[in-house]
Amino acid sequence: MPTIRHQNRVAVLNILLRYGPLSRREICKITRLTPASITNIVGELLDTGLALEMGSRHDPNGRRLGRPQVIVDLNPGGAFAVGVHLGVRTARVGLGDLKGNILKQIGFSLHLGDDSQVVLQSVAGAVSTVIQEGGIDPRRLLGVGVGCAGLVDPKAGVLRKMYHHGWQDVAVADRLGSALQLPVAVENNRNAMAMAESTFGQAQKVEEFIVVHVGTTVGSGIVIDHRVHHGRNDAAGQIGHLVLEPGGPLCTCGQRGCLDTLASEAAILHRSLQLAEGKPSSSLARLLRQAGDSPGVGLVFDAARQGDRDARAVIAEAAQYLGSAIGHLVRIFSPEMVILEGPIFDLGDLVIEPIEQSALSQAAQSLGVSTRLVRTCFGSDLMVVGGVSLALLRFLYAAEPGDWSHEIRGLTASGLSARLR
């Protein structure tokens, strides 16, 4: 019976998340639970502050249809979670509410070779800062979700490998949990982004989709039947290490010609610097020289927007490689949607069109593929929303009682009610 009650509560929470606000009658119809069960569950959610009543709904034609239906919705301020994006060159930390809205966010730079312990201490300090500056009731904080670049063991909460920093077997969940005295969930950052899109974004009602993120590296999060696909060794979605040009540039993974070496931001900047060296009088070369010793890929994007031929050629080449990799994903998984995120996609059709032509080619169409390519509605916040979504899914919207570990300190709906009284 505790398992059944838990699953029913989770079902109501997820229905309100995806379809709310709703009346109790509508919740009954969707969940197929009894009116008595819904009354009890909704009452519990109201008592804890996780839900609130939004007034009554009347027939739009003004007809009297009996007793007006009281509408219920999730209360955004009913609970909070902290999301962390631990990337290769940046870390971002944000405080989010029950509906994934980011209330406070800070970030800082990382440098190749940084010690993992020092970085996690900085992350812990940033988490404490956003909690304090967010001005929330700390009793309503569910936990922390960390999306890491690299290979992650989500069950153990361990970052198995981050190639660029040379980190191996970093116990992220244990270290942050001990420092913060909070439950911590850890995932690959692209998987966390996929969770954000599935929980709060454009893929809320989509069964199969893929998130493709282009930053310092290229990666993807794959969702099948509403669940992130991890693969046997939690290494699914590592499209940055697809070899697209055998014998090409050496990758950090040891292979040559990986997508990371051809279409990531680092690859685009490297290729642009090579062109600038061969054409020192070009506008792209002048622009890069003005930045001194530390030019950024944003300069290449700016030059492309301004019509610089060399910059546009570099971007077009990268887009072709991205389109080829996405095309492989489309033909293998036939997803309903591919969601794109990264500054390169701010260039619009300059990037999107060649990707579409390559990824959704005639060969794919002949197989009956009808995948849509869309850009994320979260922009760069997707990285932090991903961490928030991970924490909320693990510690509140969990599908199975086993996902509510003993470390959560009773932060189920009933446990939270007891703490708040």
Residue 151 CA to residue 161 CA, distance in Å, equals 5
Q: How far apart are CA 216 and CA 214, in angstroms?
A: 7
- What CATH number should be reported for the domain whose range is 80-197+381-395? 3.30.420.40
Q: Which helix (H) or strand (E) holds 13?
A: helix 2-19
Neighbours of 236 (CB within 10 A): 18
Which stretches of the chain score pLDDT less than 70?
1, 58-67, 362-369, 398-421
In this prediction, residue 114 carries a pLDDT of 92
Alpha carbon distances (Å) from 89 to 98, 151, 164, 378: 29, 16, 9, 20
Beta-bridge partner residues of 211: 221, 339
The tens digit of pLDDT for each residue in 152-164 reads: 999 999 999 998 8
What's residue 419's pLDDT?
A: 41
User: How many helices, marked H, and strands, marked E, lie in the chain?
Assistant: 15, 16
CATH class held by domain 205-376? alpha beta
Edge-to-edge strands, sheet with 151-153: 151-153, 158-162, 167-170
* CATH fold match for the domains 2-77 and 205-376: no
Answer yes or no: are the C-beta atoms of 387 and 87 closer than 8 Å. Answer: no
The CATH label, of 1.10.3720.10, 1.20.1050.10, 1.10.10.10, 3.40.50.1000, for the domain at 2-77 is: 1.10.10.10
Question: Which pair of tokens denotes residue 296?
Answer: 């950024």
pTM score, whole prediction: 0.88
- Report DSSP letters for 97-117, one per residue: ETT--EEEEEEEE--TT--HH
Question: 306: Cβ–Cβ under 8 A, 6 or more apart, which residues?
Answer: none
pLDDT of residue 90: 94
Q: Which residue has the tokens 């009996």?
A: 66
Per-residue pLDDT tens digits for 3-25: 788 888 889 999 999 898 999 99
Q: Decide: 420 and 16 in contact? Cβ < 8 Å.
A: no
pLDDT digits (tens, 9 = 90+) for 49-81: 999 998 887 655 555 555 678 999 999 999 999
User: How do beta strands 337-341 and 209-214 pair?
Assistant: parallel
Query: Half-sphere exposure (CA, 13 Å, Cβ side) for 194?
Result: 28
Name the residue ranges covered by the structural domains of the chain: 2-77, 80-197+381-395, 205-376
